[in-house]
């Protein structure tokens, strides 16, 4: 069997990293898949389930011959982790990531890496509120978009290879400017997470006599706030690294909330219904 990669290292064997390892194994994309992370218990579990072949915990222990390094850590740690691996990497190694923020990571990685070690920024639009390697599945990326974010400095062969890799695990590959990626995701993904965290905290801190409001939450509230179960440290980092785009989105959202508040306060039923109808129609247009 011809493998795309001889030795693949996944740094951060969680939902995304673990699923990518499983999918790469299922599709015969790497001869050997090695995990790296802080929790040996997590890594042992992944090895026992055949998600990875072996593992190490300290960047200095990275084996020789690694030709694909996937960085699956919270986005604030991506570049520093890459730097810690760098002394053990060989010419020809391809590095990519799976982070939800791209512009700063791409810029800093291009400054960090020497000639002969390529970086291709990547973001698979897949996953959910569950996290950890126990939730990993081989078909997580099938039919989902994976955005690659090259610049003029990106090696063309490396970009083509990563595109091929993601297509082989079932993803629909799209090429996008890193800054455009962050502006789009700031609206469609990052803003909703911030809003839901705020809504759930508002519920938990609101006191109405001695009633536990959580006991009265119906299916609509649970569906709407499902993403509040996402891993807090991941979203902490996303908010800090993409703070400008999220800040702009929050500014626009707050303006619209204030408008709704005024319409409700002033009993402007017709205008209020018009706002709801516009939202209803926009929602119908979402694929």
pLDDT in tens, 15-71: 999 999 999 999 999 999 999 998 888 999 999 999 999 999 999 999 999 999 999
State the Cα–Cα distance between residues 4 and 28, nearest whole angstrom.
8
Q: How confident is the model at residue 132 (pLDDT cuts 50, 70, 90)?
A: confident
Query: How much is the pLDDT for 287?
Result: 86
Q: How confident is the model at residue 1 (pLDDT cuts 50, 70, 90)?
A: low
pLDDT in tens, 270-284: 999 999 999 999 999
For residue 17, the Cα-to-chain-centroid distance in whole angstroms is 10
Provide mean pLDDT across the span 265-271.
97
Burial class (CB in 10 A: 0-12, 13-18, 19+), 185: buried
Angle at 139 between CA 30 and CA 4, to 5 degrees: 20
* Weakest mean pLDDT among 52-66, 88-102, 142-156, 223-237: 223-237
For residue 140, the Cα-to-chain-centroid distance in whole angstroms is 13
Provide mean pLDDT across the span 81-105.
97
Average pLDDT over the chain, rounded to whole? 94
Query: How much is the pLDDT for 229?
Result: 87
State the Cα–Cα distance between residues 3 and 96, nearest whole angstrom.
18
Torsion of CA 61, 66, 71, 72, to 10 degrees: -80
For residue 195, pLDDT beyond 90? yes
pLDDT in tens, 172-190: 999 999 999 999 999 999 9
What's the start-to-end Cα distance of the chain, in Å? 38
Domain boundaries, the chain: 5-176, 180-284
Strand order in the sheet with 122-124: 122-124, 145-148, 172-175
Q: How confident is the model at residue 129 (pLDDT cuts 50, 70, 90)?
A: low
Query: How much is the pLDDT for 210?
Result: 87
pLDDT in tens, 148-169: 999 999 999 999 999 999 999 9
96, 196, 104: which is closest to 147 by C-alpha? 96
CA atoms within 13 A on the CB side of 158: 25
Q: For the domain made up of 5-176, give the CATH fold.
A: Rossmann fold (3.40.50)
Query: How much is the pLDDT for 198?
Result: 95
The percent of residues above 90 in pLDDT, for the chain, comes to 86
Q: For the domain made up of 180-284, give the CATH fold.
A: 6-phosphogluconate dehydrogenase C-terminal fold (1.10.3660)
Query: How much is the pLDDT for 134?
Result: 84
């Amino acid at each position: 069997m011809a493998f795309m990669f001889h030795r693949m290292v996944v740094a951060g064997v969680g939902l995304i990293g673990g699923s990518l390892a499983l999918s790469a194994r299922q599709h015969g994309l790497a001869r050997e898949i090695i995990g790296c992370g802080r929790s040996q218990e997590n890594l042992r579990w992944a090895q026992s389930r055949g998600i990875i072949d072996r593992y190490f915990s300290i960047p200095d222990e990275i084996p020789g011959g690694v030709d694909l390094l996937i960085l699956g850590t919270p986005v604030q740690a991506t570049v520093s982790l890459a730097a810690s691996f760098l002394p053990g990497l060989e010419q020809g190694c391809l590095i990519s990531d799976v982070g939800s923020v791209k512009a700063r990571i791409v810029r800093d990685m291009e400054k960090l890496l020497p000639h002969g070690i390529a970086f291709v920024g990547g973001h698979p639009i897949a996953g959910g509120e569950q996290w950890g390697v126990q939730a990993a599945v081989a078909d997580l990326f099938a039919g989902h978009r994976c955005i690659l974010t090259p610049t003029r400095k990106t090696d063309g062969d490396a970009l083509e290879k990563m595109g091929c890799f993601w297509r082989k695990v079932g993803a629909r590959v799209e090429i996008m400017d890193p800054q455009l990626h962050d502006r789009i995701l700031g609206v469609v993904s990052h803003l909703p997470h911030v809003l839901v965290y705020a809504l759930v905290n508002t519920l938990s801190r609101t006191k109405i006599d001695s009633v536990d409001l959580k006991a009265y939450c119906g299916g609509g509230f649970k569906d709407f706030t499902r993403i509040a179960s996402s891993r807090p440290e991941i979203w902490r980092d996303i908010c800090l690294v993409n703070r400008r785009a999220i800040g702009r989105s929050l500014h626009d959202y707050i303006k619209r909330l204030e408008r709704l508040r005024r319409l409700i306060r002033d009993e402007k039923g017709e205008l209020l219904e018009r706002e709801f109808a516009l939202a209803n129609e926009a929602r119908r247009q979402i694929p």
